[in-house]
Amino acid sequence: MMASWTFGQEGIFLSDFGPTFHFKEDERPKYTPLLKTIDFPSMKRTMRMPWRDLHKGKFLPLSSAYVKALLLAKWANKAQSTALEKLVLASSVLEANGLAADYLSAAELTSLQKVQGMASATVVSILGAFLAQEIVKGVSRVGEPAFNTHVFNKKDLCVQVYPMCDTLTAPASVAESKATAESDPAEDNMIEL
């Protein structure tokens, strides 16, 4: 299952392939691909994680694009609200998730309200490409899908993958069968680097 939001110049999508997603490794010369399993946390669990828990120091800082996307989702349910009511809602939602009320500046929140409901062609194409790639991996079950939240941030113009689980790390996939082909160990090491 995939979900996506796009707005302004930032966007995210979450992937949830279920608790026991089986896939086959990509093929390489002189190597028999392994069948592996990854346990994805449910979409519901991912969305309910308090935002204060979604960072690990400098290794995995909390993404402002993720916070903005979830604020937009909250605002979507309050379509008839005034701009001031949306700012008050944003402050209460930020505080409820363990963040300072001023985590996003008034200027950022005002700008966010202006782009509510808009999608940039650039963001849609970039995230659409990643989304399509992950769906192909999920349907074909060939290749390891990225785990599990993808954020496109306008500041650095790249897509980052944030693992949304208790450890905030992508789980090691579990091999269910062993490689059967003989190969040169030096060549295997070069491939893995």
> What ranges do the domains of the chain cover?
2-192
Three-state DSSP at 191 gives helix
- Return the pLDDT at 176: 63
3 state DSSP class of 188 = helix
Residue 149: strand, helix, or coil: strand
Q: Are 4 and 150 in contact (CB under 8 A)?
A: no
pTM over 0.95: no
Contacts of 17 (CB under 8 A, 6+ apart): 1, 38, 40, 138, 145
pLDDT of residue 181: 40
3-state secondary structure at position 76: helix
Residue found under tokens 């091999």: 175
Q: Say how far apart CA 148 and CA 168 lie, in whole Å.
A: 10
Mean pLDDT to the nearest integer, 27-41: 86
Residue 126 pLDDT exceeds 60: yes
Q: Which amino acid is at 187?
A: E
Separation between Cα atoms, residue 149 and residue 16, nearest integer Å: 9
How confident is the model at residue 127, as a pLDDT?
A: 79
Q: Does the structural domain 2-192 have CATH classification 3.40.50.720?
A: yes
Instruction: In whole angstroms, give the CA distance from residue 36 to residue 48.
Output: 28
Nearest-angstrom CA–CA distance, 139 and 142: 8
Q: What is the mean pLDDT of residues 3-18?
A: 69
- Name the residue with higher pLDDT: 189 or 87: 87
Q: What is the pLDDT of residue 19?
A: 86
